[in-house]
Structure 1
C-alpha cells in the first residue's frame, strides 16, 4: 500500500497541469461534471476515487497522463470511448484520474488509400464531410450520430493509434513483435491501451463484427498480453 503524505494531491495535480495542453478539472467542479456526463456508465466506486478529470487534446496529452499516473501510483479511467469499449475500472481504493477523449477529434483524409484517420472524439458528421472530399460520396452510414469511438471493432477498420500502459504510442497495425497488438485490438478494443484514433475505409459502411464468445484460451492470451503492456495496472488490467 502506498503511503501518501498530506498535500500530495495538490502538488501532483499542479505537476500534471504543467505537462498538458488540455484542462485539469477538480472532481466536483462544473467542468468536471460536464466531462463525466459524456460517460454516464462510470461506476460510483470510480467517481468516489477521482482526484481530477483531465481533458486530453491529443495523443501527447494521453501519453503524459499515463506516465504521470504510473509515477504517482494512480489509476486512469478513460471516458469518451463508449460503454462497450472503455477500460474496466479497478476495484480498491487507489486514487484515479478520469481521462476525457472528447477533444481528440482531428480528422485527416488520405485520398490515395481511400481512408480517413480520425480521433475517437470526432463526430461522424465531420468524418463524413472529410470522406466526401477525399473519395467522392461515401456511404450515408458515415453520417449517423455519435463519434468515432463507436467504430471500434468495425469490419472496415484499417488501423488505430493506441497508447499502452507503459506510455508508448503504437500505430497499428505494426510489424514485428508488436503485431499481436493489432490482433488484440480487433478482438477486444481498449484491452491493451488507450485508443486515441482509428483509420476507417471511407468507401464502405462500418458494419460491426458479430459478437462471438471468446474462447478461454483467447481470454488467457488477452490477459497476458494486457499485463505485458500495462505493467502498473493503470488501465484496469486484472493481475
Structure 2
C-alpha cells in the first residue's frame, strides 16, 4: 500500500495484548506531528489488558475480543477481522499482540499488516529473543519492524534499530532497554515510512524512495 492519496491521515488499527507501550509511542508521534495518522481502533485479545484503559482515556475506540468465546483460532480470527474491517483501516499495527494470526486473517489484509519484533531479524524469530541473544554471545541486539506474512516473523523488514549488549545485561534489562531505547522510537519511524509512501512492498521486494531495499535501514540507538 502506498501513501494515502488525498493526504488525509492514515487510518491505523492497533492490536495489543499488554501495557500498550508502543501504542503510547505511536500516539505521541501523532500528537507531535511526526506521523500523519490517526488511531481509529485499539483491539485486544485480553479483556483486562492495561493498554485498553490507556486507550479509553485517550478517547480512542476500543474493543476486546476474548478467544475463550470461540471454538477455534479460525473463528476467533474471523470475528476479529470483521471488527477490524468495519474500522476501514489503511494499516493494521501489531503492537505487542501476543497471538499468531491465521493464514486467512493475513490473506484478508495482505500487505497492510505490520509488526515489531524484539530481535535483529532474521535472528531469533519467536519468543525469548533477549535471552537467546545473550546465550549466543551477541555484541548487538535490537528490534525490527516488518510486514506480516503467514510465516511467523518472516515478512520483509522495513526498519531495524540496534544497541550494544553490555556485560551487565540480563534478559530483563535487555528487554527494557530495547523497549525504551529502540521500539518506542523505531515503530513510529517505520509507520511514517509507510504512510508517507517512502517505503512500499511490491511483488519483487521492498522499495525505499523508489529503490529496491536490499538491506533494511538500520539505526543505532546507543
TM-score normalized with structure 2 length: 0.28
Determine which structure has greater relative contact order: mean sequence separation of CA pairs < 8 Å that are 6+ residues apart, divided by chain length: 2
Q: TM-score, normalised by structure 1?
A: 0.27
Which structure has more strand as a fraction of its residues?
Answer: 2
